[in-house]
Amino acid sequence: MIGLLSAYQLGQAGLQVVLLEAGETAREASWAGGGIVSPLYPWRYQPAVTALAHWSQDYYPRLDERLVAEGGISPEVHETGLYWLDLEDEAEALRWAEHSGRPLFPRSIDQVYAAVPALGAGFTHAVFMPDVANVRNPRLGKALTAALRQMPNVQVLERSPVRAFLRDGERVVGVRTHDRELRAERVVVAAGAWSGELLATLGITLPVEPVKGQMILFKCAADFLPSMVLARGRYAIPRRDGHVLVGSTLEHAGFDKTPTEDALASLRVSAAELLPALGKAEVVRHWAGLRPGSPEGIPYIGEVPGHEGLWLNCGHYRNGLVLAPASCRLLADLVLGREPIVDPAPYAPAGRIV
Ligand SMILES: Cc1cc2nc3c(=O)[nH]c(=O)nc-3n(C[C@H](O)[C@H](O)[C@H](O)COP(=O)(O)OP(=O)(O)OC[C@H]3O[C@@H](n4cnc5c(N)ncnc54)[C@H](O)[C@@H]3O)c2cc1C
């Protein structure tokens, strides 16, 4: 999603863009994610993460409209609100909301059970943010790919893994794929969990590591779950058509993305605790993806010092879908020398990589 939206932003600004994708577009973490348009616990993140999240949250509904107009595919931005149940740091969350002007409100547990009748018994307190949406990320990937294919100045080349960078002294002047060399004024690395491997070919150490996450999917009645619910790190996300996603695990397992029986069992227990009717329901799909883990989840956005022409937009860890619009807009602002939407300093690669 980061590569697609970067190409979209740069292409709309009139640049000639070639998007090189090792496999098919939006099939890795950006397909596997839940698509909650908010960090799971926004108050626990650095302001650098929330600044991008807030910009994106406001932008997503407009992006949906634009993509429908441009390619006819809606990413189904679904504003359901999100209930956090039995939070340990509820007071801190409410203080953060007041301070940052976000709509997060305490709810009595009776109000929650009235709003979400399918919720499991035993929860005692909750806070609710009514304007949190989720996006159907596989459709967002399709919609963006379709929009890019219609832009005359953008080329999307799938099954084109980048193997190395072309250099002229310290300057990066292009890339080599499995079957060709491409020259460019700028190369943007948006290779998700694989970004570190790619930069290692230049002797650069980028602390971006794969963090495996597994999810399960149920199919319910369209009105089964009116809002997203989250307790003890596990959440349920309703899509408009009644699909409900339950996630997710956090595992350090290298680049292995095989779904496991242990994770399936654990996710099923969480699903049944949150929404007991799911205890007996069939799991219609189970998958895993690799998040691009980075220190404190702060992405790298900007040019790499000492390697002119080499740019990064990667390391979005657990929040790549919510952060994508703002991250890609910021990248485009920096590339084009425009006034940036947010202070770019916290994301700058300078001083954060060796
Ligand atoms: C289970 C799970 C749940 C999640 N839930 C959420 C959520 O609710 N909200 C949220 O905001 N985020 C969520 N995330 C995180 C989010 O999915 C990621 O942060 C985001 O998708 C990262 O996007 P990306 O484009 O950087 O990486 P990816 O989607 O992994 O894309 C990287 C792309 O680079 C390509 N590539 C790799 N190497 C090369 C190469 N050498 N040459 C060419 N192409 C290459 C890959 O094929 C891939 O298509 C979740 C993730 C998981 C796994």
pLDDT at 231: 98
How many A from CA of 31 to the centre of ligand 1?
7
How many A from CA of 286 to the centre of ligand 1?
17
How many A from CA of 244 to the centre of ligand 1?
21
Would you say the pTM of this structure is higher than 0.75? yes
pLDDT at 200: 97
pLDDT at 317: 98
Q: Whose CA is nearest to atom 36 of ligand 1?
A: 191
pLDDT at 278: 98
pLDDT at 71: 86
Q: Whose CA is nearest to atom 1 of ligand 1?
A: 213
Q: Ligand 1, closest atom to CA 191?
A: 34
pLDDT at 354: 79
Length of the chain equals 354
- Cα 290 to chain centroid distance, Å, stands at 11
Which residues are near ligand 1 (CB < 6 Å)? 1-3, 20-23, 27-30, 32-36, 161-162, 190-194, 198, 213, 215, 247-248, 289, 291-292, 314, 316-322
∠ CA 228-232-237, rounded to 5°: 20
Question: Of 298, 313, 316, 347, which is best to mutate to test ligand 1, by the most ligand atoms within 8 angstroms of its C-beta?
Answer: 316
Nearest-CA neighbor of 189 among 15, 22, 337?
Answer: 22
pLDDT at 175: 98
Q: Whose CA is nearest to atom 12 of ligand 1?
A: 319
- Cβ neighbours around 303 below 10 Å, total: 20
User: Which domains, from first to last, does the chain contain?
Assistant: 1-79+134-207+294-354 (3.50.50.60), 82-130+209-293 (3.30.9.10)
In the predicted model, residues of the chain with pLDDT beneath 50 are: none
Q: What share of the chain is helix, strand, coil (3-state, %, to 5)?
A: 35, 25, 40
pLDDT at 97: 97
Task: Tell me the DSSP string of 302-318.
Answer: EEPTTSTTEEEEE--GG
Question: Of 321, 322, 328, 331, which is best to mutate to test ligand 1, by the most ligand atoms within 8 angstroms of its C-beta?
Answer: 321
